[in-house]
Amino acid sequence: MVIANNKTPCFICNEEKITYPCKGCLKEFCFMDLAKHKQILNDELNHIINDYGEFKLSMNEQKQNPQNRSLIKQIDQWEMNLIGKIKQKANDCREIVLKSSHTFIDGIEMKFNDLSEQIQELQKENDFNEINLNYLSNQLRKIREELNNPPKTSIQQNSQPFITDISIISSIKPKWDKLKQNAITVAGGNGQEQKLNQLNQPVAIFIDETKNIFIADSYNHRIVEWRCDAKEGQTTAGGNGKGNRIHQLNLPTDVIVDQLSHSIIIADHGNRRVIEWLNQKQQLILIHNIDCSRLAIDKYGFLYVSDCKKNEVRRWKIGKYNNEGIIVAGGNGEGSELNQLNHPGFIFVDGEQSVYVSDAYNNRVIKWRKGATKGIVVAGGNGQGENLDQLFHPRGVIIDDLGQIYVADFENHRIMRWCEGKEEGEIVVGGNGKGNQLNQFNGPAGLSFHDEGILYVADRWNHRIAKFDIIL
């Protein structure tokens, strides 16, 4: 009987032995050299771990002592220089005002002293009549009028800038700086009906980590989940006709997904309630008797709800809804003052818990910092219109990593981007008139970004969800 020869050359010692393959490098090693090979791999791993540790130290050092500290010093120096100039200018102007005042008073005093000498001379000589008295009286009246009516002095502000302005120019650009102008329809777009490949006035969207789209399909009274690249959606909440029963919805206007608990929180606008659906079966009313317009959730586990009738935004801790919540924006009646709102809709909450509110009938987006008693206008606010410094009934609002503000300019059928502090925005997509072409909108409403920078828009009256890819 011949014993089969299953020996092959070892990669290291090159001797014919029983060998063992390494799945990483696909080479064969004898038992002894396999151990050496594993030791080499362990050494390489330790080298990577050391590199990782060094990088972490370097990163922490930069975190504590950022490399751009020299820029901070330049800004500090600019501030000190300008403060010095402003103080010097203020002192110069004060000296001019005081010198002018002293000159005026000195002139009055000289006239008064001269008149006083004339009076003393008349008294000394005791030789005067009515003519002399009238003259003295008139002179005193003139001096008094002159004192009471000093020369008019005012401050004139030069139209030329007194200080040299500075700004920061960063090489960091947002991942989605430029977007393709033609959209891709990723949901709906097949008419205004209730089939699973159709939508009826979608108003808000939520994109999860796997690019699945949850849609507030408002006039179909349902929430539809449209999986990535799917031809049709599936109903995940509602879809049982318009109604107020626990398994029904009535004109849902927003949806957010808690991906940890697999629950869906819905602004059930027509039923004046915020409701939670868990695993498509269990329903729970979270907040009763609220004219809920839109929802947001922050990283700290707070739920925000805009109330379009009370003109306010309130906040609740997730899971603790047995109270009235806390007002974080508005709450001072309908109006256009900075502490008021007029039909608030979409909301966005940043990492510092600042609340951005799409203040629809004031044609602006207003930002309320945490704990603030009034907001600041960060987009629009210049009346209803289509100029670049105006909005017309804005809807969706989201903020990118650089703090740039994206607004669905509903009646102008365009998406605008604003930088806080700038007087006007820019058109990102749309702005080509109302229509159903791929570069047009018909009432853009909800907005959402995917991490890759892709912009999704709920195109309400075109009954579709449009996706805009970035230009690489």
Backbone angles phi, psi at 204, to 5 degrees: -150, 155
Mean pLDDT, residues 176-194: 89
367 shares its domain with 225:
yes
Mean pLDDT, residues 451-469: 92
Residue 428 in domain: yes
Q: What is the pLDDT of residue 170?
A: 56
- For the ranges 61-70, 314-323, 332-341, the lowest mean pLDDT is seen at 61-70
State the total domains in the chain. Answer: 2
* Residues contacting 64, CB < 8 A, separation 6+: none
Q: How confident is the model at residue 156 (pLDDT cuts 50, 70, 90)?
A: confident
Residue 282 in domain: yes
371 shares its domain with 241:
yes
Q: What is the pLDDT of residue 174?
A: 54
Mean pLDDT, residues 20-48: 88
189 shares its domain with 57:
no
Q: How confident is the model at residue 171 (pLDDT cuts 50, 70, 90)?
A: low
Residue 354 in domain: yes
Q: What is the pLDDT of residue 1?
A: 47
Mean pLDDT score of the chain, rounded to an integer? 88
Strand partners, 217: 202, 222
Q: Which two tokens stand for residue 34?
A: 């396999």
Smallest CA-to-CA distance from 302 within 263, 339, 350 is with 350
* Residues contacting 356, CB < 8 A, separation 6+: 347, 348, 349, 350, 365, 366, 367, 378, 397, 399, 405
Q: What is the span of the domain harbouring residue 401?
A: 185-469
Neighbours of 3 (CB within 10 A): 5
In the predicted structure, residue 314 carries a pLDDT above the cut 90 = yes
Residue 247 in domain: yes
Residue 373 in domain: yes
238 shares its domain with 369:
yes
More confident residue, 447 or 229: 447
Strand partners, 263: 258, 278
In the predicted structure, residue 160 carries a pLDDT above the cut 70 = no
- pLDDT tens-digit profile of 246-268? 999 999 999 999 766 678 999 99
In the predicted structure, residue 6 carries a pLDDT above the cut 70 = yes
Mean pLDDT, residues 317-344: 94
CA distance 380 to 392: 9
CA distance 379 to 447: 16
Whole-Å CA distances, 284 to 156, 209, 266, 276, 315: 65, 25, 11, 5, 18
- pLDDT tens-digit profile of 339-381? 999 999 999 999 899 999 999 999 999 999 999 999 999 999 9
Neighbours of 249 (CB within 10 A): 31
Q: Which CATH number characterizes residue 295's domain? A: 2.120.10.30
Residue 32 in domain: yes
* Residue-by-residue DSSP string for 201-225: SEEEEEE-TT--EEEEEGGGTEEEE
Question: Whole-prediction pTM value?
Answer: 0.68
Q: What is the pLDDT of residue 169?
A: 59
Backbone angles phi, psi at 214, to 5 degrees: -100, 125
Q: What is the pLDDT of residue 220?
A: 97
Would you say 408 and 457 are in contact if contact means Cβ atoms under 8 Å apart? Answer: yes
Mean pLDDT, residues 391-420: 94
CA distance 85 to 88: 5
Q: What is the pLDDT of residue 209?
A: 83
Of the three residues 27, 48, 65, the one that is the final residue of a domain is: 65
* Residue-by-residue DSSP string for 230-288: -SS-EEEEE-S-B--STT-BSSEEEEEEETTTTEEEEEEGGGTEEEEEETTTEEEEEE-
Residue 312 in domain: yes
Mean pLDDT, residues 442-453: 88
Would you say 19 and 35 are in contact if contact means Cβ atoms under 8 Å apart? Answer: no
- Is residue 269 classed exposed, middle or buried when 0-12, 13-18 and 19+ CB atoms within 10 A define those classes? buried
Neighbours of 184 (CB within 10 A): 13
- For the ranges 97-106, 398-407, 408-417, 458-467, the lowest mean pLDDT is seen at 97-106
Mean pLDDT, residues 220-248: 93
Q: Are strands 355-359 and 234-238 parallel, antiparallel or unpaired?
A: unpaired
Q: Which two tokens stand for residue 299?
A: 């990283």
CA 397 to chain centre: 8
204 shares its domain with 57:
no
Strand partners, 379: 365
In the predicted structure, residue 52 carries a pLDDT above the cut 60 = yes
Residue 20 in domain: yes
Percentage of the chain modeled with pLDDT above 70: 93
Would you say 185 and 465 are in contact if contact means Cβ atoms under 8 Å apart? Answer: yes
Mean pLDDT, residues 402-414: 94
Whole-Å CA distances, 358 to 226, 319, 381, 388, 431: 26, 26, 11, 17, 19
Would you say 235 and 248 are in contact if contact means Cβ atoms under 8 Å apart? Answer: no
Q: How confident is the model at residue 127 (pLDDT cuts 50, 70, 90)?
A: confident
Mean pLDDT, residues 41-47: 89
Q: Are strands 28-30 and 184-188 parallel, antiparallel or unpaired?
A: unpaired
In the predicted structure, residue 471 carries a pLDDT above the cut 90 = no
Mean pLDDT, residues 434-441: 96
Which SS3 state, helix, strand or coil, does residue 185 take?
Answer: strand
* Residues contacting 372, CB < 8 A, separation 6+: none
Q: How confident is the model at residue 167 (pLDDT cuts 50, 70, 90)?
A: low
